Amino acid sequence: MAETERPQLYLITPPEVELSTFPDSLARVLDAAEIACVRLELSSSDEDRIARTADGLRAVCHERDVAIVIDTHVRLVERLGLDGVHLSQKAASIRSLREDLGEDAIIGAFCGNSRHDGLSAGEAGADYVSFGPVGRTALGTGTQAETDLFAWWSEVIEIPVVAEGALSVEKISEIAAYTDFFAFGQEIWKCPDPAAELARLIAAMD
């Protein structure tokens, strides 16, 4: 459980990806640290752009035995050869998705800071539940997923939990004992050397 093991690492792509450079940048990070999963989370709604990006990143991930899931676009999972989907809204039924995608597909659910939503997702068959943002941010509603939520979840619930959103060294250190995964996105991609920044954040887990 999270109390005795260092949390695993999960990466979230930037909302805008330059295909001429980002696959190489991703490869360097995957080669520098043990990553469990990558989430393709683009701001674009252009299906062709999403597909071309997925093709490029899927190759990088699968060459290294790293799973890659897509945010929201459930109908693209099988078409693009991805490993699953991350649901950022409650609109989709996890039970029906499981029937459509099969038992081997990864289905994760973002639940904000709601215990109820997390429990509902877990009962419906989600492989993991994600809470966030962990740190202060002006984005969204501004509400945070507090440390006591992760502490309660790790004590009571067996379904893996992911901490994401505005992660700082201080928050990572505070929550590391209670989460199974940390999901890093802009925290590393906004830096000149994402692999070095990830190493700095990993050090805060110990």
For the stretch 58-74, pLDDT in tens is: 999 999 999 999 999 99
Distance spanning both ends of the chain, measured CA to CA: 15
Average pLDDT over residues 80-96: 87
- Stated pTM of the model: 0.95
- d(C-alpha 206, C-alpha 204), whole Å: 6
pLDDT of 142: 72
Average pLDDT over residues 30-50: 97
Q: Which domains does the chain have, with CATH numbers?
A: 8-203 (3.20.20.70)
- d(C-alpha 69, C-alpha 82), whole Å: 6
pLDDT over 50 at 186, yes or no: yes
pLDDT of 133: 96
pLDDT of 3: 44
pLDDT of 92: 62
Average pLDDT over residues 6-11: 97
Q: What is the mean pLDDT of the chain?
A: 94
Average pLDDT over residues 146-170: 97
Percent of the chain scoring above 90 in pLDDT: 91
- d(C-alpha 124, C-alpha 187), whole Å: 31
